[in-house]
Structure formats: structure tokens, C-alpha cells
Amino acid sequence: MNRELQAAIASNKQIRNAWPRMLACGYAGSIAHGMTDAETDDIDLLGVFISPDSHYFGLTQIDHIVKVDVCEKYDFCLYEIRKYFRLLLNNNPNVLSLMFLPENMYVALSDVGRVIVNNRHLFMSKRLHKSFGRYAWAQINKMERACTDQAYQGAKRKERFQKFGYDCKNAAHAIRLLKMGVEALSTGEVNVHRADAMQLKAIKMGERSKESVISEAKQLMDKLDEALIHSPLQGQPDRAKAELLLMDILKNHFSS
């Protein structure tokens, strides 16, 4: 972990307090995918932690920590372990990515975090079809909205919308999600770091027409449907084993 990131963690009380109980934390978004664009991207980090004792035995609830523009650069999305497991069981594409990062993309990975990663296939199922497809099509819908409807867009991103007539970043996300969904259903692996990063980045930079992106998205949706038919994955995540794993982690944590 570089000094700049260490300083960002130290600068925010909630993140700083959660960090000693962080099980796994790694880069997300464009850095993880190999699609970084300095003009429009912040640095995203995704993590899972164990909350303080008061969360489990008292009145305090800390089930997630979301902080954006930390030190004007870092966006943190950190989940309490029980919430994180629930999202994994729903095959949420964003949280699944933390389980399939290349080793050099983790900024924190405890022994317990590695146990979760080693059991990641408990969560993989044919539900990926619905989750990846739904998330991807939401990006398609967003990409066609006027930039004034998307307050999160920075100046450069709005400029590209006005130039190309659609949100190029949403378009790249949609194609990436559909490709990842096809791969995950076919192989059981989520390929976070993209071998096709240059092609995806070309979409992100506005080098493709909106019509061609929508056409490719429709073709990929057909491939996603086909991948579901032939998928070797279980129909549903192994909830029973996932729950036993979660209980074991929490029991060991509070007994140590």
C-alpha cells in the first residue's frame, strides 16, 4: 500500500477505525479492470470488515461505510461481513469482483479474508445471469440519459456526453458486465482484470457509436442467455455452507 493511500485511510475516522478489522480490501472499478482514465475516474476501493462488538451485541449498527472523494481522490465502499455475504449470495457483480482480484490488486488481505476468497465458489451460481444482465442493462438505460440527469458526472464526462450523444463510461460498463457474465456462467470465474481492456476503453473514450454499442449489447445478451443454458454452475449459491463459513469466522473472531 502506498503512502498516499495510507494517508487517505488515516484521514477519515470511520475508515481508520474499521481498518484493523478489515478482512479484505482491493481496488475496484477502472483500476481493477485495467481501464483507467485519469480524466474521469477516481480510485475506487472495495472491502469487507468485521464491525465492532457493539454491532453484534449492542445497539450500534455499522453495516457499511461509503466515503467518496477522500483526499479528493479515493472512493471507499466497505461492507460489514454479514451484509457482504448477503450481497455475494445475490451474485452482486460489484462485490463478487473482490473475490477474483489478481493478487497485486489487494491492498489488505488477512488470513480470514483469504479463507473467504478460497471459498468464493460457494457463491457462484446461475443467478449470475440475472444479476449481470440486470446491472448491464441498467447501464444501457443510464447511458442515454441527458447528462443533466446524472449529477455524479464530472466536467470531462459531461463534455463527452455532449460530444458523442451518450454516456461513454456507462456504455463501457454495460459491455464489460455482459462479457464478464458470459465468462462467469461458462467457467465459474469472474475475470475482473480485462484482457479486452483496450477495446472497452475505446468505448469509454467515445470511439464507438451509440448504435454499435447497443447492437453489441443485444448480441451479448443473447450469448448470456446461451451461457445460462450450458452453464456448469449450481442453480443457487450454497447458502448453507456459506452460512457455516460466516458463523465460523465470527465465532473465531469473538472467541480469540
Express each pLDDT in 136-182 by its tens digit.
999 998 887 755 555 455 667 777 788 888 898 899 999 999 999 99
DSSP 147: G
Q: What local confidence, expressed as pLDDT, does residue 41 receive? A: 64
**Strand ranges, E, within 100-217:** 106-109
Handedness of CA 138, 178, 193, 165 (dihedral sign): negative
Rounded distance between C-alpha atoms, residue 62 and residue 116, angstroms: 20
Q: Where are the domains of the chain?
A: 3-119, 128-230
The 8 Å CB, 24+ separation contacts for 213-219 are 213/143, 213/166, 213/171, 213/174, 213/175, 214/140, 216/175, 217/136, 217/137, 217/140, 217/174, 217/175, 217/178
Q: Is a pLDDT exceeding 70 seen at residue 114? A: yes
Q: What local confidence, expressed as pLDDT, does residue 95 receive? A: 95
Lowest-confidence segment of 34-48, 71-85, 93-107 by average pLDDT: 34-48
Size of the chain in residues: 256
Handedness of CA 239, 232, 190, 144 (dihedral sign): negative
Strands 43-49 and 64-70: unpaired
pLDDT above 90 as % of the chain: 79
DSSP 166: S
Grid coordinates representing 17 are 477505525
Q: What local confidence, expressed as pLDDT, does residue 112 receive? A: 98
Q: Is a pLDDT exceeding 70 seen at residue 73? A: yes
Rounded distance between C-alpha atoms, residue 95 and residue 120, angstroms: 11
Rounded distance between C-alpha atoms, residue 27 and residue 44, angstroms: 6
Q: What is the CATH number of domain 3-119?
A: 3.30.460
Rounded distance between C-alpha atoms, residue 46 and residue 15, angstroms: 12
Grid coordinates representing 66 are 461509503
pLDDT in tens, 91-107: 999 999 999 999 999 99
Average pLDDT of the segment spanning 217-226: 97
Asked if 126 and 233 touch (Cβ cutoff 8 Å), the reply is yes
Distances from the Cα of 247 to the Cα of 23, 45, 79, 255, angstroms = 15, 26, 17, 12
Q: Is a pLDDT exceeding 90 seen at residue 183? A: yes
Write down the pTM of the prediction: 0.90
Rounded distance between C-alpha atoms, residue 222 and residue 231, angstroms: 14
Question: Helices then strands (H, E): number in the chain?
Answer: 13, 5
Average pLDDT of the segment spanning 18-43: 87
CB atoms within 10 A of CB 217: 19
Label residue 256 by pLDDT band (50, 70, 90). confident
Asked if 233 and 188 touch (Cβ cutoff 8 Å), the reply is yes
